[in-house]
Amino acid sequence: MESHFIELSDIRKVYKDKEVLNLNQLRVRKGEIISVVGPSGTGKSTLLRLIAGLEKADTGEIMIDGEQITNVPPQQRPVVYMFQESLLFPHMNVLENVAFGLKMAKVSKKKRYEKSKEMMKRVGLEGLESDFPHEISGGQKQRAALARSLIVHPKVLLLDEPFSSLDTELRKETRRWIKHLLKSENITVLFVTHDLEEAMALGDRVAVLNKGKLQQLDSPHVLYESPFNPFVASFLQGGIWTEERFIPVSSLKLGRHDNQNGRKAEVIETYYQDGKFHCVLSIEHSEAIITLTTREKVNVGEHVKVFEVER
Amino acid sequence: MKWFRTSNPYVLMAPAVLITILLLGYGIVMAFLESIKYYNQPTLSIYRELLSDEIFITSILYSLRIAFISTIISLLIGLILVRSLYPVLRSKFPKLIAWMPMVFPHFIWGYMLFLLFSQTGYISSLLNGMGLHDQPNEFPNLFKDSFGIGIIITYVWKEVPFVILMLLPVYEQLSSPQKELVYTLGGRRWDVFWHVERPYVFPVMLETFFIVFAFVVSAYEVPALLGATYPKMIPVISYDWFFGSDWTKQPYAFAAMVILTLFIVLIVFLTYLFTRKGRIHLAQSSGAFHDLQAENRKYSRVLFFVMLGMTLLPIFILVLTSFVQRWTYGELLPSSLTIRGWHEMLWHGPKFIEAVYTSLGISLLVLLLNLLIGLPAAKGLAFHIFQGKSLVETLLLSPILIPSIVIALGVHLTFIKIGIANHWTGVVIVHLLPTLPYTIKVLRAGYERIGKRQEEIAVSLGAGAWGVFRNVYLPQLIPSIRSVVFLVTVISLGQYFLTALIGGGEVNTMAILFFPYFQTTNDAVIASFSILFAMIPIVVWLLIEGTLRLVIPKQPR
């Protein structure tokens, strides 16, 4: 039997008569990075806050590394939570910020500063020890926040949109670097994001949530090629869900001639990238929106055909 | 604390709410019962008598007029100053200047203005020296006059810094992109004021109006010191009735204060009702600072120097007076200086020294209680949403609207029965009334500025409740605590009526000593003593700062 590092079962959370989370089961393996995606207000952050212990579930159990932690206070959970903003303590310098968790664990000053300096080196913040948070850049802040989280060697790291305050380029760079670091530490991570590309790039598996329920938890490839239900398909814009089956984007092609046998679609946006024209299409008589590429220019508002190709 | 969320808002707020309900509710009920002579035969005859008494009606109208005029003028001047100066006021020195009058209790500030503007005061003397008039009595009589000009000047001068304190955070958070938006959409300066400033500023102005008005109309100290023999403000009349030789007049004191309380509640309620439409509930601002640019930049330098002069002149005159040996009327500066005033006060007046220790002890205790009760309550209000929150907010603010004199009168007998009247414990408890609402207000803003996410991070990293408070909140709350220290100690030091009433002559604070000595002793002694009033808050702050240094982990800077 496969061993699960994190195991949530029958978790239910209600806020003011509104069910925000209802999970039958969520299992994560050790060292795995799970991206959590879904429309806003589907309980992604609530999920992390429950695992962190910042909120209490109404029912259900949470196990981490074989230990029941449902009733363990947040201070004693082997879990660290990181917010979208770096939230460094503004009145402490970077070194003190990084050392905070060790201080709370009553590690002696000499030892904690030693370890913190080491950790700062690992995340590339050498030399910024005595700077204050307002003196360093956004990317550096995120690195410092990560160092602060990793120094207590948590079994699980919870990241709540950690890159959303960074600009696009820095975001990509930071996520590559973070994935590398997390993998080398073999740390188990749950990572909430609203950016699909980021979710796919960072996550070994991706959990799709909707209305408080887990829709599917699979690797990006499986998600795109065989979504469980129409919601997952339309949320990822991964293809067309017909009555009988699902056709992924990878099996679809765009055609412009009426004689072809396919589904009608309208072009709603086009852009040129990577040597191809990308067309965002709204499929007629369905809510599906997909993006296909062509060699020739297509105009917004144009009606085209989408047909399946043999692979 | 087993669970993070068990920091139940009701538990956090319980001490503040309980003490407010107990003192306020009990005090008002008892004051009313006393006023209808409940212990003999309940009757409303005193009310009937008072409300048909011309002298009393004159007093009521006089009190309301003085309060209205002082409040409106303070608000206008404060608004103009903040609008023109808020970028300047961000730096340390101008801020210090603006705050400085707040270190002096009201009656001390009144005394300082008396030194300046009385018929034999500095200005009169200066005009005489310049040959503009011959006799002191040619200078207009501003003090002890029947219009109460001296009282109004004192209040305006003292309340303007308070108005600035209230309005400054609002202006610092006004968004300049919003202003620019109005300009690009074709709006003029008036439109900017109306659509960008007013929605944020007006609610705060209104709150400030309530606070200042309720304070001025019901305070005893300044009109007692500077007012005329007729007409008198209601608190002064009540004092005379209560402490007068004819004890059958005591119920009149209760009734007068109850009537005044009703007036305040009525006026606050009506104003609240009529301005309801204009108020918009504004979300907590992000608190981001923008490039601050005042509207009237041309005048800001001039205005700042005016403010500087207005603040420093009274202080300068007070300090100078404390060293005066002889100052002939008509001369610009005293002819000879001496430290005799200081010497006499410090070494030949054991009463002075005793009073200083008593005042220091009482204000320290009041301050500690304020922090103990206020910190959890402020956190509860800042971070929790719960049933009945607005009720709790109103309740906790109400002691600044309901005259503390009426409450003190009400609890007086009970304090005697349970043995805490005529003792410092009783005095400390009643001093909570005029101070706790400010403490909660200031600390709440402090907590809101920090936000609660830092706490969640800290908890997630293993910090317990005390660890969070010590490492995360306390170091960042220091500016708020500093404001609380000054507000609370100055208010506590300035309480003459409450202390005289509950202390019953046994608790001799500096205020108790100041009143009879005012104008009967050498000016140099009284001026030296007045300066001590301003020193106490500074000493208390040094003590608190020292203690905090021990508690808060060292900050390598």
DSSP B331-377: -SS-SEE-SHHHHHHHHS-HHHHHHHHHHHHHHHHHHHHHHHHHHHH
The beta-carbon neighbor of B4 closest among A54, A90, A104 is A54
Which pLDDT tens digit goes with each residue over B500-540?
Answer: 999 988 899 999 988 888 777 778 888 998 999 999 999 99
Token pair for residue B271?
A: 């104003």
Task: Tell me if chain B has a CB within 8 Å of the CB of A108.
Answer: no
Task: Tell me if chain B has a CB within 8 Å of the CB of A74.
Answer: yes
Give me the pLDDT at residue B234, please.
93
Cβ separation of A81 and B457 shorter than 8 Å? Answer: yes
Residue among B460, B472, B552 with most chain A CBs within 10 A, to mutate: B460
- By C-alpha distance, the chain B residue nearest A16 is B386
Task: Tell me if chain B has a CB within 8 Å of the CB of A15.
Answer: no
Residue B284 pLDDT more than 50? Answer: no
Give me the pLDDT at residue A1, please.
44
Task: Tell me if chain B has a CB within 8 Å of the CB of A72.
Answer: no
Residues of A in contact with B555 (CB under 8 A): 91-92
How many angstroms away from the CA of B383 is the closest CA of chain A?
14
The beta-carbon neighbor of A73 closest among B2, B454, B471 is B2
Q: A147 pLDDT band (50/70/90 cuts)?
A: very high
Lowest model confidence (mean pLDDT) among B5-19, B276-290, B380-394: B276-290
CA distance B36 to B479: 47
The full set of domain ranges for chain B reads: 7-551
Q: Count CB atoms within 10 A of the CB of residue B273.
A: 9
Cβ separation of B555 and A92 shorter than 8 Å? Answer: yes
Residues of B in contact with A79 (CB under 8 A): 460
User: How do strand A289-294 and strand A188-192 relate by DSSP bridges?
Assistant: unpaired
Residue among A55, A104, A113 with most chain B CBs within 10 A, to mutate: A104
Cβ separation of A74 and B454 shorter than 8 Å? Answer: no
The beta-carbon neighbor of B472 closest among A54, A56, A89 is A89
Cβ separation of B460 and A52 shorter than 8 Å? Answer: yes
Residues A123-152: what's their mean pLDDT? 90
Is A308 strand, coil or helix?
Answer: strand
Cβ separation of A152 and B461 shorter than 8 Å? Answer: yes
Residue B283 pLDDT more than 70? Answer: no
Task: Tell me if chain B has a CB within 8 Å of the CB of A208.
Answer: no
Furthest-apart CA atoms within chain B: distance in Å: 78
- Chain B interface residues (partner A, CB cutoff 8 A): 1-5, 453-454, 456-464, 467, 471-472, 475-476, 553, 555-556
User: How do strand A188-192 and strand B336-337 relate by DSSP bridges?
Assistant: unpaired
Cβ separation of B461 and A54 shorter than 8 Å? Answer: no
- By C-alpha distance, the chain B residue nearest A145 is B457
CA B172 to chain centre: 23
Cα three-residue angle B279-B438-B309, rounded to 5 degrees: 90
Q: What is the mean pLDDT of chain A?
A: 88
Residues of B in contact with A116 (CB under 8 A): none
The beta-carbon neighbor of B459 closest among A74, A91, A96 is A74
Cβ separation of A83 and B453 shorter than 8 Å? Answer: yes
Give me the pLDDT at residue B296, please.
53
Task: Tell me if chain B has a CB within 8 Å of the CB of A134.
Answer: no
Residue among A46, A51, A54, A64 with most chain B CBs within 10 A, to mutate: A54
Residue B287 pLDDT more than 50? Answer: no
CA distance B548 to B546: 5
CA distance B176 to B306: 27
Give me the pLDDT at residue B468, please.
93
Residues of A in contact with B467 (CB under 8 A): 104
Residue B289 pLDDT more than 70? Answer: no
Token pair for residue B248?
A: 């059958």
CA distance B437 to B448: 16
- By C-alpha distance, the chain A residue nearest B453 is A87
How many angstroms away from the CA of B450 is the closest CA of chain A?
9
- Which residues face A14 on adjacent strands? A19
Which pLDDT tens digit goes with each residue over B428-456?
Answer: 999 999 999 999 999 999 999 898 889 99
Residues B419-436: what's their mean pLDDT? 93
How many angstroms away from the CA of A198 is the closest CA of chain B?
24
Residue B557 pLDDT more than 70? Answer: no
Indicate the helix (H) or strand (E) that contains A98. helix A94-104
Task: Tell me if chain B has a CB within 8 Å of the CB of A65.
Answer: no
- By C-alpha distance, the chain A residue nearest B466 is A104
Residue A61 pLDDT more than 80? Answer: yes
- By C-alpha distance, the chain B residue nearest A87 is B454
Task: Tell me if chain B has a CB within 8 Å of the CB of A152.
Answer: yes
Half-sphere exposure of A70 (CA within 13 A, CB side): 14
- In chain A, % helix, strand, coil (3-state, to 5) comes to 30, 30, 35
Cβ separation of B460 and A87 shorter than 8 Å? Answer: no
Residues of B in contact with A92 (CB under 8 A): 555
CA distance B504 to B500: 5
Which pLDDT tens digit goes with each residue over A248-281?
Answer: 888 888 887 766 677 888 999 999 888 889 999 9
How many angstroms away from the CA of A282 is the closest CA of chain B?
36
Q: B63 pLDDT band (50/70/90 cuts)?
A: very high
Task: Tell me if chain B has a CB within 8 Å of the CB of A92.
Answer: yes
Give me the pLDDT at residue B347, please.
77
Cβ separation of B462 and A76 shorter than 8 Å? Answer: yes
Residue among A58, A64, A96, A100 with most chain B CBs within 10 A, to mutate: A100
Q: What is the mean pLDDT of chain B?
A: 86
Give me the pLDDT at residue B290, please.
43
B7-551 fold? MetI-like fold (1.10.3720)
Residue among A91, A115, A116, A135 with most chain B CBs within 10 A, to mutate: A91
Residues B27-43: what's their mean pLDDT? 84
- By C-alpha distance, the chain A residue nearest B461 is A101
Indicate the helix (H) or strand (E) that contains A51. helix A44-52
C-alpha torsion sign, points B90, B96, B97, B98: positive
Give me the pLDDT at residue B285, please.
38
Task: Tell me if chain B has a CB within 8 Å of the CB of A113.
Answer: no
Residues of A in contact with B464 (CB under 8 A): 75, 104
Residue among B386, B457, B474, B557 with most chain A CBs within 10 A, to mutate: B457
Residues of B in contact with A52 (CB under 8 A): 456, 460
How many angstroms away from the CA of A33 is the closest CA of chain B?
19
Residues of B in contact with A75 (CB under 8 A): 459, 462-464
Residues B177-184: what's their mean pLDDT? 75
Furthest-apart CA atoms within chain A: distance in Å: 78
Q: B555 pLDDT band (50/70/90 cuts)?
A: low
Question: Phi and psi dihedrals of A89, rounded to 5?
Answer: -70, 120
Give me the pLDDT at residue B288, please.
40
Looking up tokens 């300035």, which residue turns up? B494
Which pLDDT tens digit goes with each residue over B91-102?
Answer: 888 888 888 888
How many angstroms away from the CA of A102 is the closest CA of chain B?
8
